Every structure is written in structure tokens, then in C-alpha cells.
Structure 1
């Protein structure tokens, strides 16, 4: 009996010790990885001026007569842990920091390099602290918590110097060659020439990547990442209309020089690939479904776009895409609907979006950003500087008996702001006449609107902030598709010109003619 008891006791002790050991092992293996990445930006530029015809990356000429472009939106784009695309824009000329929560092994940070028109990308690990300094206004990364090859971390700068001598790349010239042409008729042939050069440069870069990997200057993960990004870049080139046509015409040629390789991703790996911007670009490309472009001209300004309603419906039915891909693509398609289609389409497809996405947080943000309250679509809701609310109908009624010169503008709209000095002159000239100058801010941010009113010297005029411009049928009925847009009403409250002349561009003569006839 005692013998059996001792045996049972010893067995229990062994089992207990073994169990404790397994539990300890389990505890060790289940310690979660760091789930944050810290980014530190040192003296980010606020904006810089780039001279288009200057072909040396980062070099700026103050006395150049070439066309110039100001770049204001420096920032790092990444995919957060909820699969939402986010952008961090560091504060200018100071030390700025952000902590990003992540549950993946790697996080990709991308920023637009204005000098090359190709994204500058950095692949960092979960738990990293990354410091960004700026050379020629271009970010250069350094990781403080582990040793990593500078070539691997700052690969974009390395390739630009070693393959392209810090000059515009063939890839960039394909995208932007229209900027460099004096004769627009050369556009198609130049595109083909640049594309053929890009294929040669692609081969050189693949050899460079192979060499870096062989010499252990970049990791296997980074090697595959850079190679996939390069392949995706070539696929984007082949989707440009005239290049695509040329590739199709040359399909019959079968020698090694002319065979075009088709690149793609295994969509069963969507969840792990989604963090990479080139994969998101790939999803966007294959979900365009070769839809024809709709051309639009709005009184001198316009654009082209695909029918995003067809794209939206096609994405829902496309069996290639899992829910993660659909969450990403449906929001992108809805943005196209929001920008280019009528309120009834926005309302219909927002309901479809609610039914077909699992990204509730993103849905709420979209609703907030676009102010998607369709219950007030028949009105144009306005707010005054004193935060009083009225409708556009109320505004017209309140100003009956006067001529009205309506200016639809926004603080971010450069042509709108450029016209303001002339508008102020016009206002002074017509001071003794029965006319009211009214300014309505469309698709703006309220704090920016208030600041711009003071800067432009229009604070003594009637100023209104449009609260529901994206979902108001009134905007559609008035035919406002771009800003600045000007309207003239007579004292009876009747619209006499829905496309009035701009200040400094015929508005004075037009108003004088209308007022003198009545």
C-alpha cells in the first residue's frame, strides 16, 4: 500500500515538473513580439521648389526660367493594423515623432520623391526605431535598435546613384515625358523609346539586386520585396495606353529581345502582401477592368475618369478577391463615385458599401470625412462665421432686392485665391451700387477657411461655409463641378448667369451691362 502510494506520489511529482516545464516553455514561446514602430523626423522640409527641366536629383536652381513645381505634402504612407492606408506628415523644421501600432513582421513606409516621381520606400521591422534626416529634401533613414545595411534600408537612393547617376530615370520619363516635350506629336514615340530603355534598365537593376543578395548586402526578404516592386513598376508601364498598344502589335515577334513577360501575384497571399504599396497598386490595376475613360470639359477645366459604379459592382462579383482585398478596393472605387457622379449614385453605392465591407471603422471615417448625410440632400446647408446655420434658399431670400455675385471657392484652391485681389477691387468699384459679393467655401476645412478669409481681406463680406457640398443636389443643379465658380443673381432672386466671368477676366463688364439694363 505504501509502495503504491510512493509510486503514485513520484509519478505525480514527475508529471507536475514536466507540466511546469512545458508551461514555462509555452510562456517563453508566447511572449508577444514588440507591436510598435517609432518614427522620428528631424527638420522635415515644409515645401521645396523643383525646377522641372533641371535633371539632377535634389539640385535646385534659383535663377532658372524653367517651369517650377511646389511640393507641400511630404509624408510617409503606411498600412495600419486595421488595413487602412494612413499618412504621417511630420511637422516642418522641428523634431517630430509618431508611434505606429503594428502586428506584422514588417512595415513599409513610402513617400513621394518629387525629383524621380517614383515612391521612396523603406522596409522596417516590428520594434524598430527609425530616424529620418533629409538630404536635398529627400528622407534618409537610420535604424537605432539594430544593425542594418545602409544599402538595404535606403535602397532607393542607392539605385538612383549607381544606376542612373542621380538623373531622371527611364521609368520617370515614361510617366512624365509630356513635361519634357516641345512637340506634343512626339509623345507616343518618346513613350516607346523610354519604355525600351526602361526594359534595359530593368535588366541592369535585377543584376544589381542579385549581386547585392550574393554579397549579403541585402536580406532575402528585402531582395524579394525590391524585385516585386520593380516588376510591378514594369507592369504599370505596360498599362499605359500607347505602350500597351505597341506591346500588342509586337507580340508576334518571338526573339528574346521582344518577348514581354507577364508579372502577377498569388492572390491567395493577399493578407500578407497587402502591407506593400506595390501590391495595393497591383490590386488597383487589375480591378480597372479595362474600362474606357469618360472625358469631361467644365468650362475650360475638366478631366477623365472611368465609370467607378461599374468597377464597384465588378469588384463585388470578382472571385479572385478575398474580403481583405474587397475592403480596400471597394473604398477606392467609392472615392471615384464620390468625385465624379451624382448624389443619387453616392447614396446608392454607399448602401452597397455598407452591405459589402467588414471595415466598420473605415466606413465611419468615410461617412465623417464626406459628411454623408443624405437626409439633407435637397438643401445646401451653410454655416456663418458666428456658427449660425441656414440654407442656400434662406441666403437668396435674405438678399432679395440686390444683385448677387456668388464666388464658390476654397482655401486650398490656388486659382480661387489668385482671383481674390481682383475681387476686392471689384467690390470697391461697385460699393455704391446695389450689389452684394458673397463667398461660399466648398469642400474645405473650417479652420483653413477662417484663416484664408482674413488673409484675403474678405472678412467684411458675407462668408459661408458649405457643410454638405458632396451630397447636395443643389450643387448639381447649379452645375458646379469645379472651382472657382461664379454665379450672378438679379434682385428678384433669379439666376441670370450660372457660369459668370471671373474677377479680372470680364466680371466688371458683365456686371455693368446687367445692372445698366435693369
Structure 2
């Protein structure tokens, strides 16, 4: 904290004419400082439903080079430093589940965010700003988009898509195509109104030029985006590529959906629903000659991550190789190799081969020991965490499944990847899973097994057969129909 205050004071003392800056001062001028003040407690701590700050109730993100970075909060007052090479970055703040506000912040700025009625208020404390540089999204929602908390049909990123009255969905004369057409036409009208509104603010000298250009571009791409979203026949889409806009969410969202729409990328059915055919999307970007280097890199990186997370390890390895051959950013390739261990055949086995646990009494054990102790029984292992809302939501089904097989040779093992022992303790007691088969992982994600099966998200379920062999590294969830058939294979 003392270092942050010291750096901040140095920044205040600097003037624009300084040319003989020390290295420390250069760091400050290339850094954006964001301070979160008076954050509502239910933004910080687990909700009754089991969700937390990470469940989209509260999310602050910015885009830097190749990835979207989220600013995480761990305490009521939190200061985050963002290294920044470009003059401006976009900070996007989601809150109250559906609402979102975005602002531009310049290199060297210090930003305070405080909360009134759980709504973020921005203030740049190192310089004067124009009247509406920081509250434009609130204004446009109030004067153009009439619903404060709209029900979105398409995406929370598009406040133009909403239904004021959900009861129409149950009416006998409800026509989804007519509704889509009406929404589209209304959206075009509202975006046209926004352009006029935006111009009026700028003419009144209540907007800086950089903010005016930013919101004008956002309005323009939102209009292109709804042309992508609508399904009116013979609609002409004015497709625009602008490599310099990849740093902005509205452009990334637009260009991502353009790939899906223009190339007719389909959904693929899986056991628990459907997923986008990200492999086909990736292939279409490789074949295209239309994209600039930054846009192409963003699209390939985005679809590669989807492939890694949703498809098999051989698929992940294959598409990582294609990515490496088509992207010249060696630093990004190294980031992916580090982030997804084992995706490259160059990876070395430096991590621990043992998957280590502790039980409720902090007694150490390992996955190998647990499997060995239950040899002769089928093991259904549930990886979860106290902060994981989907994990917690599946627990009642897990208990029911456990009851169904209580007289069979099946053991249900629960492994939390929590970092906080107390949070885990409170959670497993609430979920009634205390006992001999309840563990906390102590070397996640370093252990080799986690890398081999690409266990990067939860809930995740494994099945070991009676001989202690891992037979399903991504088993159906306890609330699915498929789990019954899958378990019967090994009894």
C-alpha cells in the first residue's frame, strides 16, 4: 500500500513537460490505477444461492493485447493497477446481472469507482473531464432505452434487445418471427435516436472528442450487429473490419457473431446440451483473407480457447498447432502453452505426479490412496468449490443419486478446489457432504492429472472402474439422464 501511495504522489507531482523521468515514474505514467470504494458486500461475498462475485452480478474487465482481464475484488477497498501500452483502454463494468457501463480511461489516469444503490459511479481524480464523459451510458439508457433492467432476448451486450412484458411469451397468438422483426425495427429507431442524442451532447461541449468518437463507433457497430442478429430476408449487411477497434468490446462482440452468422456455424449436440462448433469457426477464419492481423489473432485465440475447453485433448493439440502456424505472436503462444499445460508436445512434466488432498481434519492423503482404498468399487468423483454456483446447484441431484446407489458398489467422492479452508468447511456442511469421502485439493492445478485431463473448469466429474482405472475423465453430471447408463457400464 505504501508503494502505491508513493507512486501515486509521484504522478501528481509530474507535469507534461517532464522528459527525464526515472524508471519508477515511467511505470506510473504507463499504468492506470482503479480504486474500488464502498463496494456492496453482496458483490464481494457468497450469495445464498452459492454464487459469488464471479457469477456476472459484478464484473469489471478490460482488453489488453490478446486477452480479456477481469479486475477481481477481495476486500471492501481494493486498488488495481493496469499496465497499459495504448493511450486509451476501455473499462467495462457489469452489475445488477444485466446492466453494463463502459468508459474510456487514458494512460496515467487514476479512477475511483464508488457505489450508490449498487450502481457504479466513476470519477477520474487526476484531471478534469467533460460533463458526460463518464456517465453517457446512464444517460442513453434513461432517455433512449426505456427499460431500466430489460429482459434481453439476444445478449446482455445489446441493450436494444428486450421485451418489456414477458407475459406475451405465453399468449396463444405469440409469433416469435413477428416479435423479432418488431424488435429489430425498434432497435434501428432507437439507435438512430441515440446518434442524434450523441451529437447534441458533443455540440453542447459536454463530451470530449475522444469519447464522442468512441461512442459514435459503438453506435455504428451496434447497428451492424443487429443486422447480423435479425432474420429478415434479403437484409443487406454493411460488413466492416477495423483492426484498430479490436480493443473494444462492441467490435469484438460484433466480429465474433459475424463469423458465426456469415459462415452458418452450427451448434453441436452434447450430453448436457449443445456447444458451438468452434472448430468450424476456427477453420473459417484460417481460410479467410479479409481480416487484419489483430482481428484474425483475436478470433483464432477466442475459438481456440473454446476448442480447448469444449473438445477433446487431440482436438485441442491439433488446433493449437494450427494456431501456432498462423499467428506470429510468439509471446501469446507461450502464454497459451503455460495456461494450458500439455497442449504442446514440447511441454515437460515438471509438476507433481500425485494429486494431493487433505480431509476435514487436515490429514494428508492422495487420489492414488483413495482409489486404492476403494479397489473393487466404482468411484464417481465430483470436483467442485464453495464459490461455484453450478456445482452447488447440482448437489441435491448428487445426494439423490447417492441414495439410489447406496446398496451398490459405488462410492461418491467430493473434491473441492477451494483455496480457503474455512469457506470449504462452511460449504460442505451446508451441502451435507461431510464424511470420509470429502476432500480439499491441495495441489490444484499443478498436479499432472489436472493437466492431462484439462481440468480447468468445474463442476467436473470422473469415473474410476473397480480396477482403479480412470474410464471417464469428463463424466455426465448427477442431474443428467446419461449418468445412470454410464454408471451401469462399470458395476
Matching residue within 195, 202, 213 for 1:213: 202
Q: Is 1:37 paired with 2:32?
A: yes
- Secondary structure of 1:458's counterpart equals coil
Contact 2:228 2:258 in 1 (8 A): no
1:226 is displaced (CA, Å) by 0.6
CA deviations 1:233-280 (Å, max 9, x no partner) are 22222222xx2x31x24x5xxxxxxxx672624x3xx2x433222222
Matching residue within 454, 457, 461 for 2:437: 461
Please list, as runs of the form range in 1=range in 2, the aligned pairs for 1:367-406 lying within 5 A after superposition. 367-372=337-342, 383-386=355-358, 396=371, 398-401=373-376, 403-406=377-380
Indicate the structure (1 or 2) with the bigger Cα radius of gyration.
Answer: 1
> What residue number does 1:17 align with?
none
Distance 1:504 1:295 in 2: 18
Matching residue within 50, 55, 60 for 1:76: 60
Q: Is 1:291 paired with 2:264?
A: yes
Distance 1:274 1:292 in 2: 22
Q: Is 1:133 paired with 2:114?
A: yes
Q: Is 1:237 paired with 2:232?
A: no
CA deviations 1:190-231 (Å, max 9, x no partner) are 222122111111111111011111111112221121111112
> What residue number does 2:3 align with?
none
1:358 is displaced (CA, Å) by 3.7
- Secondary structure of 1:349's counterpart equals helix
> What residue number does 1:204 align with?
193
Please list, as runs of the form range in 1=range in 2, the aligned pairs for 1:135-174 lying within 5 A after superposition. 135-165=116-146, 167-168=148-149, 172=159, 174=161
Contact 1:76 1:88 in 2 (8 A): yes
CA deviations 1:136-175 (Å, max 9, x no partner) are 3221111112221231211101111222355346953626
Distance 1:77 1:205 in 2: 25
Larger displacement relative to structure 2 (422-431 or 148-157)? 422-431
**In structure 2, do the counterparts of structure 1 residues 139 and 202 end up closer, same or farther at CA, with 3 Å as the change threshold?**
same
> Where does structure 2 lack aligned partners over 5 or more consecutive residues?
1-16, 45-52, 153-157, 359-363
- Secondary structure of 1:195's counterpart equals helix
- Paired residues, number: 432
> What residue number does 2:254 align with?
282
Contact 2:357 2:366 in 1 (8 A): no
CA deviations 1:438-460 (Å, max 9, x no partner) are 4255xx84526995366314353
Contact 1:382 1:464 in 2 (8 A): no
CA deviations 1:394-426 (Å, max 9, x no partner) are 86555223x335133422543543454676798
Q: Is 1:264 paired with 2:240?
A: yes
Contact 1:38 1:129 in 2 (8 A): yes
Q: Is 1:326 paired with 2:310?
A: no
Distance 1:211 1:131 in 2: 28
TM-score where L is the length of structure 1: 0.68
1:470 is displaced (CA, Å) by 7.2
> What residue number does 2:275 align with?
304
Distance 2:336 2:315 in 1: 16
Please list, as runs of the form range in 1=range in 2, the aligned pairs for 1:85-164 lying within 5 A after superposition. 85-92=68-75, 94-114=76-96, 116-117=98-99, 119-164=100-145
Higher helix share: 1
1:232 is displaced (CA, Å) by 1.6
Contact 1:46 1:74 in 2 (8 A): no
Please list, as runs of the form range in 1=range in 2, the aligned pairs for 1:399-438 lying within 5 A after superposition. 399-401=374-376, 403-411=377-385, 412-418=387-393, 420=395, 435=409, 437-438=411-412
Distance 2:54 2:166 in 1: 15
Contact 1:486 1:501 in 2 (8 A): no
**In structure 2, do the counterparts of structure 1 residues 186 and 138 end up closer, same or farther at CA, with 3 Å as the change threshold?**
farther
> Where does structure 1 lack aligned partners over 5 or more consecutive residues?
1-26, 50-68, 252-259, 476-480
1:334 is displaced (CA, Å) by 0.4
> What residue number does 1:183 align with?
170
1:316 is displaced (CA, Å) by 3.3
1:348 is displaced (CA, Å) by 1.3
> What residue number does 1:316 align with?
286
- Secondary structure of 1:76's counterpart equals strand
Superposition RMSD in Å = 4.6
CA deviations 1:83-130 (Å, max 9, x no partner) are 4321212345x221122222322221112244655x410112222211
> What residue number does 2:9 align with?
none
Distance 2:290 2:483 in 1: 55
